[in-house]
Structure 1
C-alpha cells in the first residue's frame, strides 16, 4: 500500500468537485467512490489512489502529520490554521467569502471589547487588530447566524456564498475579510517517488 497516493478530501461539495476534476483528466476513476456511502476511505486500485473523507478543518492536520500525502482545503482554513504544508495549486472551485455581518438595521461601528462569534478565531482577531480594535471572540462551530439575534455577540465572521442565509436570519454583510477557493496542498516530507507522481498530476491539471 506504500505505493498508493493518499488524498484527504473535505466531505461534501469540495470532495465531489475534486473527484470529478481528477476523473476528467483520467488521473482516477470516480466509479470507485460512492458519495452516498458512510465509508470514510475509498480506493482506486487502478490509479493507486486512496481517498479519506474527513471534516474540512481536519484536512491540514492529516496532511501536515503525514497521514495523507495530499489534501484539498479552502484557503480560508489554511489562513486560519497556518499549517506547515506545501500549497501547490489553486483549483479554482469552492469559491466563498469570509465576511463580517451584523443585525440588519443595527450599528455597524466597531468598538473595543465587542464580541464576535466565529470559528475563524485567528483570522478574526488579526482582522480587527488591523483596524485598531481589540475584540473578544466567541468560538462557535455552527448556527453562527443566530448569535447576534440572541445577544451572544455584536458581530459574526462567517463564510458567505450567496448571502441568502444571512438575509433569512435578519443579518447583513458589513465587510469582506477575504475570498477563498479550494487549494491542493501536500506534506513537506514526501518520498521522491510520490513527489514525482504529484508533479505529474499538477502538470496534467495545468494542461
Structure 2
C-alpha cells in the first residue's frame, strides 16, 4: 500500500522536488505529471496528491492522506492539529506588516488591516495591545492600502520586490515561514516505519543541502 502524501502544488512543489530527489525518491512521475493531480512513484511506495495549500490540512484532518507538505503559514493560520515532524527549510519567507509611507503603527485610532491571514493578524495586534478591524482578502493583498480599503496589510514576502514596486514599506517583521512535513496522527500509528523512514531520509537531505550551501542546520 502506497504512503499518501498531499503536496502543495506550485511554488512549494517546485522547491520540494529537489529535496525528495536528494532523499532517494524518483521524482520523474512528478516532473512529467502533465495535468495529473494524483501521481504514484514508479516503485509504488509513494502516492502524491497535488493540492492547494489550505486543502492539505483538510485532507490530513479527514484522514485521506498520511503526510502533508505545506507552508507553516497555513499550519499556523488553520491552527494545525496534526503532528509536525520536520522543517524542510525551503520556501522560506516572512510575515510582514506593510503599508504606505504615511502609516503610523502606533496611532491610537482603530486600524483596518487587509490580509489573507486573519487569525495570525489578530494575534499579532493583540500582542501589541491593539484592537483592529480585519478585512480578509484572497487576491493581491498589496492593493488594499493603495486603494483605501485598509490602512495596512499583513502578508508574507520572500524578497520584498512586490512591496517595493508598489511603494509599500515594511513596518514590522512577524513570524518566519518555511515548508513543513506534517503527519496524520492515526497514520503515524499505522505506518510508523514508512513515515519515519521518509522523515529520516528527508532530514538527511535537508542537512546535505545546507552543508553544500554552507548553511547552519537547525
Fold equivalence (TM over 0.5): yes
In 2, Cα distance between the equivalents of 1:191 and 1:109?
46
| Equivalent residues of 1:75, 1:183 under 8 A apart | yes
Q: Cα deviations across residues 83-122 of structure 1 (Å, max 9, x unaligned)?
A: 2100000111110001100113443434453110001000
Residue 72 (structure 2) aligned to one of 75, 79, 97: 75
Residue 94 (structure 2) aligned to one of 83, 90, 97: 97
Q: Which runs of 5+ in 2 are unaligned?
A: 205-218
Change (3 A) 1:160 1:110: farther
In 1, Cα distance between the equivalents of 2:60 and 2:173?
29
RMSD, aligned CA: 1.6
Structure 1 window deviating more from structure 2 (148-157 vs 35-44): it is 35-44
Residue 175 (structure 1) aligned to one of 165, 172, 177: 172
Q: Provide the secondary structure at the position in 1 that maps to 2:174.
A: strand
Aligned to 2:45: 48
In 2, Cα distance between the equivalents of 1:112 and 1:85?
39
Q: 1:1-207, aligned counterparts within 5 Å?
A: 3-26=1-24, 28-34=25-31, 37-190=34-187, 192-207=189-204
Q: How many residues align?
A: 204
Aligned to 2:213: none
Structure 1 window deviating more from structure 2 (102-111 vs 85-94): it is 102-111
| TM-score, structure 2 as length reference | 0.88
Which structure: greater helix fraction?
A: 2
Q: Which runs of 5+ in 1 are unaligned?
A: none
Q: Provide the secondary structure at the position in 2 that maps to 1:165.
A: helix
What is the CA-CA distance between 1:192 and the residue it aligns to?
4.3
Q: Cα deviations across residues 142-165 of structure 1 (Å, max 9, x unaligned)?
A: 111011011100010000111110
| TM-score, structure 1 as length reference | 0.92
Q: Provide the secondary structure at the position in 2 that maps to 1:129.
A: helix
Q: Provide the secondary structure at the position in 2 that maps to 1:148.
A: helix
